[in-house]
Amino acid sequence: MSSAPDTPRRDADVLVLGASYAGVEVVYQLHRQAPVKPPRIVVVDRDREHGYLPLVQERLLGTIPAASSKLQTARYVESLPHARFVQGEIVAIDPDARTVDLADGTRLGARILVVALGSVLEPPPSIRGGERLLAHKSPAQFDALHAALGRVLDGSIDRPRIVVIGGGISGVELAGELAALRTRADRPWPTPPEVTLVGGSSRLVPILRPGVGARTERALAAQQVDVRTATRVVEVGDGWVEVERGGASSRVDCALALWVGGIAPAPILAGLGLPRTDEGWLAVGPTLQCFPGGAGRAEVFACGDAVRVVGGDGPWPTMQRAIECIWQAKLVAANALTLLGQAADYPTGVPPLQPHTLRPGFAYGVSLGRRSLVVWGPLCVDLPRINHWFRRWLMRQYFARYPAPAPAAELSAR
């Protein structure tokens, strides 16, 4: 499938790798910002649809229907003029030729390459037996954890305990949602679990103010969550986890142990031949180019969870959140369109591109089972009804941004 050595392979103007928050928004923005007709776009991802991650704990436990809380990503892309979705496993890229190779042997190329391959929710190798931990980010993880919950909460185990590892926002939200199974009339399985939440820091949600951590702990404790801060899981066995606190170790028996303690770079990022930080994230400049100012490689961009912006004094303290993906994607689209507006050999040089704006904070909604905090700077209010409704409204707004009409064949069959 390779093209002649001196003929660049050009299946599109822009090749977007990864179609989650960052990738799909790049596509949206390319269409929105294109001055005349939109560029030709090819999008590659292993998944055709994407579960809504900000409410993943509600999807997992059936508080909202899992099947209808997914973005129909491929359908959205396929509905756009001059855009194509390719489902496949990316195995390599060539930043000079701007081509990508898929596991099935397909090679695709474009003038502009955008890498939006994200992160994985996986424990560090330092936890012995960490492969026993379950998580809920990727569709495969989600399905495996959903099935495991069904097995341990089906009534066959007396008082099954679930240990949630991770005292950040995702960890407290999952622990709260599990605890709320106790009082739910419509719970999906007969037996509600006992819940232990283990966090390594001295307080919960350490990225937020100390008062929010204390309030979160009180809200979870009031729902019978056994909260253990300043505690680390060091080993996971069959039916137990070993934890350490202040130099003393002990075992917690459990039916399941779940990892929500932090993300890692997507494995593919290590082998792409792109500059990386010491932690393995893609290092991009403020213009979100992988080779800022790099002759001949100006057309390689990256954004979203996969990247750390490095500029000035070093890495910027950038949030790895959906809203940050959207901000970055908007800039990548603008810069890509600037380059596409020039002849491919840039006879007068590569034009200057716009830098990203660092926005260090934003509002947080922290759902804690029957409670739900809204946090903005020093403000922290518990508005369970309003916030649960608001977060679902946000989800609907997100889906409406990327409308995905049913394919013509499906419509005519109705």
- Binding window for ligand FAD (CB under 6 A); candidates: 17-25, 159-167, 187-195, 351-359: 17-25
Which of residues 101, 122, 194, 305 is near ligand FAD by CB under 6 A? Answer: 305
Closest CA to 50 of 141, 135, 139: 139
Rounded Cα distance, 42 and 16, in Å: 6
What is the nearest approach in angstroms of ligand FAD to the Cβ of residue 268? 4
Interface with ligand FAD (CB under 6 A), residue from 16, 21, 255, 395: 21
Residues 95-124, mask of contacts with ligand FAD (x by CB under 6 A): ---------------------xxxx-x---
Interface positions, 27-86, toward ligand FAD (CB under 6 A): 45-47, 50, 53-54, 56
Sheet strand arrangement including 371-376: 364-368, 371-376, 379-382
Q: Rounded distance, CA 115 to CA 204, Å?
A: 33
Segment near ligand FAD (CB under 6 A), from 18-26, 202-210, 350-358, 406-414?
18-26
Choose the binding region for ligand FAD from 14-22, 144-152, 153-161, 272-280 (rule: CB under 6 A).
14-22
Cross-strand bridge partners of residue 364: 375
> Nearest approach, Cβ of 216 to ligand FAD (angstroms)?
14
Minimum CB–partner distance for residue 84 and ligand FAD (Å): 15
Q: What is the DSSP annotation of 64-86? A: S-TTTSEE-HHHHHHTSTTEEEE
18 binds ligand FAD (CB under 6 A): yes
Residue 96: other Cβ atoms inside 10 A: 11
Given its phi and psi angles, is residue 89 left (phi above 0), alpha (psi -120 to 50 degrees) or beta? beta
Task: Please report how close the Cβ of residue 104 comes to ligand FAD at its closest, in angstroms.
Answer: 11
Name 409's Cβ contacts closer than 8 Å, sequence gap at least 6: none
Applying CB under 6 A, the site for ligand FAD has a residue count of 32
Q: State the minimum distance, in angstroms, from the CB of residue 412 to ligand FAD.
A: 30
Q: How far is the CB of 143 from ligand FAD (least distance, A)?
A: 14
Spatial separation of the C-alpha atoms in residues 75 and 334, rounded to whole Å: 24
Distance in Å, CB of 375 to ligand FAD, minimum: 12
Q: Which residue has the tokens 């069904």?
A: 150
The footprint of ligand FAD on residues 253-272 (CB under 6 A) is 266, 268
Among 111, 137, 161, 228, which residue sits at the site for ligand FAD (rule: CB under 6 A)? 137
Q: Which residue has the tokens 């031949």?
A: 273
Kind and range of the H or E run holding 91: strand 90-94
Rounded to the nearest 10 degrees, the angle between the axes of helix 21-33 and helix 322-340 is: 40
Q: How many residues does the chain have?
A: 414
* Cα distance between residue 250 and residue 240, in whole Å: 10
Nearer to ligand FAD by C-beta: 153 or 306? 306
Find the binder of ligand FAD among 107, 297, 321, 392 (CB under 6 A): 321
Q: Could you tell me which stretch among 7-15, 289-297, 315-323, 334-342 binds ligand FAD (CB under 6 A)?
A: 315-323
Q: Does 333 bind ligand FAD (CB under 6 A)?
A: no
Q: Which is nearer to ligand FAD, 40 or 391 (CB)?
A: 391
Report angle CA 154, 159, 164 to the nearest 5 degrees: 90
**Could you say whether residue 171 binds ligand FAD (CB under 6 A)?**
no
Among 1, 140, 221, 323, binds ligand FAD (CB under 6 A): 323
Q: Which of 83, 68, 73, 90 is nearest to 31 (CA)?
A: 83
Instruction: Please identify, using beta-carbon distances, which residue of 164 and 181 lies nearer to ligand FAD.
Output: 164
Q: How far is CA 148 from CA 134, 144, 263, 286, 373, in A?
A: 9, 6, 22, 43, 29
261 within 8 A of 232, measured Cβ to Cβ: no
Chain residues binding ligand FAD by CB under 6 A are 18-23, 45-47, 50, 53-54, 56, 89-90, 116-119, 121, 137, 170, 266, 268, 304-306, 320-323, 325
